[in-house]
Amino acid sequence: MEPDKSIITGKILANREVAENHFVMALAVPDDFEEALPGQFIMLRVKGREFPFLARPFSIYSIYSLQKMIIIEILYQVVGKGTIILSRLGEDDELNILGPLGRGFDIVPDRKKIAIVAGGIGVAPLSFLAEYLGKQASGFQEDRKIVCYMGAKTSELLIDRERLEDVCSRVIISTDDGSNGYHGSVTDLFKEDIRSYKYDDLMVYSCGPYPMMKKMAEILKEHSIPCQVSMEERMACGVGACLGCAVRTGTQKENPLYMRVCKDGPVFDIDTIIWR
């Protein structure tokens, strides 16, 4: 059983806008965050403020050491009052942090080809995963190849492209408006490429909006290719107590079965989820 997590204080080192309404925040955190795994997340709340009352969940975007400090980064989009407040914070402001939380991605050592399919802000946990796989390559397969399929609405929202190019063999771009790379959805781009892989040598990881993930499930249903997805759901507690982030995963004696994204996930095998 996972030990109980305590709320700790993190100090903001930087909070910069990297695209319109998209920010990367760097936080100094305790040493035990060094063991965080790709796919895990944290719950953040502004220290000393009554609003927002509930903490917000954010995937871990990156983690590294700097001058004997452990730094975690989060990538977030300003979409409401809570993230507006976060975007206005600056250096030395403090946040209450609960984490790292949840189940991360499973690393499959015997798969030499890795396809990462990222849509929009879903690039956050997948960037951490690609970075992690790059660092661990010598421990698994020297000839492991990571191909990233990266989709966004416009070229201006292709966040983290350079970082991914540093750790991936290839980064293949799609934009909804055709302003960069393939003109269309990242799932259509991936579908066009999928037959070029050896299915018994491929592992797929994906994160993005729900309709994108549903389309990924439809594409992969036709092939025997393992895929893990990081689910994006609203969360209130982050530890499985409130059941507010439950997703349907099957039925038992005509009764729906649900799993908690925060506790049982946020990473799931794609064929576990009942995509509606």
User: Domain with 95 in it: what CATH number?
Assistant: 2.40.30.10
- Residue partners of 144: CB distance under 8 A and separation at least 6: 112, 113, 114, 133, 137
What is the per-residue pLDDT for 42? 93
What is the per-residue pLDDT for 25? 97
Q: Examine the domain organization and report whether 34 and 131 are in the same domain.
A: no
pLDDT of 195 over the 60 cut: yes
Q: Examine the domain organization and report whether 51 and 90 are in the same domain.
A: yes
Q: Which domain holds residue 225?
A: 113-232
What is the per-residue pLDDT for 1? 38
Tokens 């040493």 sit at which residue?
A: 31
Give the whole-angstrom CA distance, residue 3 versus residue 162: 37
**CA 84 to the chain's CA centroid:** 21
Give the pLDDT band (50/70/90) at residue 242. Answer: confident
Give the whole-angstrom CA distance, residue 49 versus residue 46: 6
> Average pLDDT in the 42-46 region?
90
pLDDT of 52 over the 70 cut: no
Tell me, yes or no, whether 74 lies in a domain. yes
What is the per-residue pLDDT for 214? 95
